[in-house]
Amino acid sequence: MKTSVCLLLAAAASALQAGAAPVTDIVATDAYRWHGDTITQGEFFATAPSATEIVSNYYAQPGFGFPISHTWKLKNDLSSYPRLSTPNRLHQAIYNMGLDEMVNAVEPDTTLRTGKEWAGVWTRDVSYSIILSMSYLQPEASRISLMKKVNPNGVIIQDTGSGGAWPVSSDREIWTVAAYEVYKATGDRKWLEYIYPVIKKSLDDDALTVVSGSGLVKGETSFIDWREQSYPKWMNMADIYNSEALGTSVVHSQALRTLAEIARELGHKKEAEEYTARAQAVADAINKNLWLDDKGYYAMYNYGRNFPVLNPRAETLGEALAIIYDVADADRARTITECNPTTPFGAAIFFPQIADMPAYHNNALWPWVAAYWAIANAKAGNEQGTLEAIGSIFRPAALFTTNKENFNLDNGDIATELNSSNMLWCLAGNIAVTNRILFGINFERDGLRFAPFVPKALAAERTLDNFKYRNATLSITVRGYGDRIRSFTLNGKERKDAFIPANIKGDNTIVITMADNEIAPLKVNRTPNVKAPLTPVTWIADGRLQWNPIEYIGSYRILRDGKVVAETRQTSFDVSVPGDYQVVGVSADGVESFASEPRSSRKSIIAQLPGESTAIASAEIYNTPAAPVEGYTGTGFVEIDQKTAPLSIPVTVPADGTYALSVRYANGNGPVNTENKCAIRTVSVDGQRQGIMVFPHRGVNNWDDWGMSNSVLVPLKAGSHTVTIDFRPENTNMNIRTNHALLDRVELVKVGD
């Protein structure tokens, strides 16, 4: 086997060096070329000797320990899956490798394995994979996998995320979109009736917990769930809960729109109207609050504490979903595809990068995100953007001869914090760019609609045989190139509409002839990979905000209450005007750092909880401290669990105004980066519900590590008031059993008149 691989590589190298007839580039960037049946990156190349084999001479970066396979050969029986015929042998082999690894991903219990190194079913991983291609290629495994992610209370499980999962992470609603894709692929009415109450209850809980006053959705950026990889270091888990992310908000908008469609189909017209309105409200909030005119794309998230500021980074999945799910109108969609930065290896997870973080979500390309980006570019009509997005998926698939998880944007290697072969959502994205873009297959409630988008560089005749759709088997041929269809025939008969109904049966032949039209050119924002300046570290001393100097900085931007009030090259600023102050470092070429941690020159009002406890006694305790708890203020702390009576805390404020209300707490029930025991409570003032307070994990057994909850903004009149903190059914977390924390004191700060 080794000898045959070496001979194939030697023959390919010899042909390249011997001056064989030049092959036109399909994609060429500063990092790699896809030309004919070969991808070349510097001294490395990969080629396909046949439709069932890929060979590569790639080796990992020196000193990096991940094993690299130099060959892929088909090992599974693919006779029950679609068969791609195309003149480009490498394309055909990469597609077959996706199917081959898909078969590997189906576990004996008919669930979809997340990756070679990642056992089990994870909500967001499987959902994004189902939307891309598993809904119709593995409908039963998709259905069973989704059912595994519904808890005993009948709600969607948020199984991973910072600080104890939901609601710090709140993108579980992508399950909704995936579940409806399974229905569109199968037409199973019983499935529709099963998912409706699950989705409805989950979204109704989310409406009370994560939808903010702005209309955006609170919580971590969808799928980017290693907090230090995408947020400034000063942000704690409660800060992340209080942030408002583009991707997660788009997911919720589409989930609400999907629920409306299901309600309409099941005859619940009133509910359909309600959820349609709620979906539009989230979409409107995204367009109002996150769009950056000067950048030409949406901001990644709103963050901060009492006065949120925008993180102006571009976040590729969120931008892509905004296009695919029509949050962005057609003009904005085109603008996004032209403005979202694209590095030589492809579009980053977000851009620019965080300088002092290793590659994983930061400084990385994930092929499944690139697949959504490719689909979005095709929908927006960006031909070159579509080509380069497809190339960013095919390059690593060929060179690494597997569908790897993620890639370092500095060099295109797998030298990242974690990686896996046979990654479910990456193989699903590999397959999707062929089926959904080049063949234009779109699943609708009552049939299949075809809208191929074929860049001129990929002009060819391609056929997808043995494509299963409900009670039919389809042979689909697409000829030519362009974004317009000249003719569409079904079983030899011309049809006016490129659509086949869901009740079609038996063997059917579809032939789509493209118009061979020139697609209106749009730009690609090609850029070197960029690292943003480090985040300033600030403090207040002697009436001045001070911060550490940052090397190679152009200037410092001073924010008071979220608004720019000055720009300076000094490292201190007068804070005699009361406010929450932050500093943003700006490089000479205009790249911004994160804003520093807010430092307030305002005075706090402290209301000590009437706590006498110094030891933990609740039956809900998950990690018991080895010694009595320390670090609280006053005489003790109050312990809360699901059986605790509502806490009533008297407070007195000296003047009318808006007050930020927060609680000092400890939660040692879990680690900061995973598990599911975030404590959640409802906050009321004088009997009026004001919002949700979260007490996320602060580390296993870290009962002496005290921090602040999120702030709830409350309008108060001067005088005495009663703050109530209580547990309600909608506060049930993902653990169900443990919803427990220690509370030390209440703090109020007047932040507005």
pTM of the model: 0.96
Decide if pLDDT at 61 tops 90: no
What's the pLDDT tens digit per position in 281-312? 999 999 999 999 999 999 999 999 999 999 99
DSSP 92: H
What's the pLDDT tens digit per position in 180-209? 999 999 999 999 999 999 999 999 999 999
What's the pLDDT tens digit per position in 435-476? 999 999 999 999 999 999 999 999 999 999 999 999 999 999
**pLDDT of amino acid 12:** 52
| Residues linked to residue 580 through DSSP beta bridges, in sequence order | 600
Within its chain, how far is the Cα of 494 from the centroid?
Answer: 41
**pLDDT of amino acid 21:** 47
Q: Which of 143, 142, 147, 110 is nearest to 129 (CA)?
A: 142
**pLDDT of amino acid 611:** 76
Tell me whether residue 318 is exposed, middle or buried, using C-beta atoms within 10 angstroms of its C-beta: 0 to 12, 13 to 18, 19 or more: buried
Compute the average pLDDT of residues 229-250.
97
> Token pair of 41, please?
């990156």
- SS3 for 243-287, per residue? CEEHHHHHHHHHHHHHHHHHHHHCCCHHHHHHHHHHHHHHHHHHH
Give the C-alpha separation, 367 to 398, whole Å.
12
**pLDDT of amino acid 613:** 83
Question: Which residues have a Cβ under 8 Å from the Cβ of 576 and sit 6 or more positions away?
Answer: 543, 601
Give the C-alpha separation, 104 to 116, whole Å.
9
Compute the average pLDDT of residues 598-610.
92
**CA end-to-end distance (rounded Å), the chain:** 76
What's the pLDDT tens digit per position in 2-60? 445 555 555 555 444 444 446 789 999 999 999 999 999 999 999 999 999 999 999 86
The CATH class that applies to domain 533-600 reads: mainly beta
Give the C-alpha separation, 178 to 27, whole Å.
31
Tell me whether residue 120 is exposed, middle or buried, using C-beta atoms within 10 angstroms of its C-beta: 0 to 12, 13 to 18, 19 or more: middle
Compute the average pLDDT of residues 577-589.
96
Tell me the percentage of the chain whose pLDDT exceeds 90: 91
**pLDDT of amino acid 227:** 86
Say if CB 78 and CB 99 are below 8 A apart: yes
Decide if pLDDT at 64 tops 80: no
Q: Which of 428, 472, 471, 435 is nearest to 453 (CA)?
A: 435
Give the C-alpha separation, 389 to 406, whole Å.
14
Give the C-alpha separation, 29 to 615, whole Å.
62
Give the C-alpha separation, 684 to 601, whole Å.
27
Q: Where are the domains of the chain?
A: 2-56, 106-313, 449-514, 533-600, 604-752
Neighbouring C-beta atoms of residue 651, cutoff 10 Å: 20
Give the C-alpha separation, 129 to 123, whole Å.
10
Task: Write down the mean pLDDT value for the chain.
Answer: 94
Compute the average pLDDT of residues 701-712.
96
**pLDDT of amino acid 6:** 53
Torsion of Cα atoms, 393 then 394 then 395 then 399, to 10°: 120
How far CA 194 is from CA of 136, 150, 262, 365, in Å, comes to 19, 11, 11, 36
Compute the average pLDDT of residues 650-666.
97
Query: What is 106-313's CATH topology?
Result: Glycosyltransferase (1.50.10)
Return phi, psi of residue 128, to 5°: -60, -35
Cis peptide, bond prior to residue 646, ω within 30 of zero: no
Give the C-alpha separation, 664 to 747, whole Å.
8
**pLDDT of amino acid 63:** 44
Radius of gyration of the chain, Cα coordinates, nearest whole angstrom? 27
Give the C-alpha separation, 504 to 467, whole Å.
13
DSSP 570: S
Decide if pLDDT at 67 tops 90: no
**pLDDT confidence bin for 166, thresholds 50/70/90:** very high
**pLDDT confidence bin for 226, thresholds 50/70/90:** confident
Strands 741-752 and 580-587, bridge-based pairing: unpaired
- 28-37, 56-65, 632-641: least confident range: 56-65
What's the pLDDT tens digit per position in 323-380? 999 999 999 999 999 999 999 999 999 999 999 999 999 999 999 999 999 999 999 9
- Reduced to 3 states, what is the DSSP secondary structure of residue 215? coil
Neighbouring C-beta atoms of residue 382, cutoff 10 Å: 28
DSSP 298: E
What's the pLDDT tens digit per position in 510-558? 999 999 999 999 999 999 999 999 999 999 999 999 999 998 899 999 9
Domain 449-514 and domain 533-600 have a common topology: no
Compute the average pLDDT of residues 409-423.
94
DSSP 657: E
What's the pLDDT tens digit per position in 130-158? 999 999 999 999 999 999 999 999 999 99
Range 604-752 classified under CATH 3.40.50.300 = no
- Reduced to 3 states, what is the DSSP secondary structure of residue 129? helix
Query: What is 449-514's CATH topology?
Result: Maltose phosphorylase, domain 3 (2.60.420)
Decide if pLDDT at 507 tops 60: yes
Decide if pLDDT at 634 tops 70: yes
Q: Which of 639, 645, 637, 609 is nearest to 621 (CA)?
A: 639
**pLDDT of amino acid 18:** 44
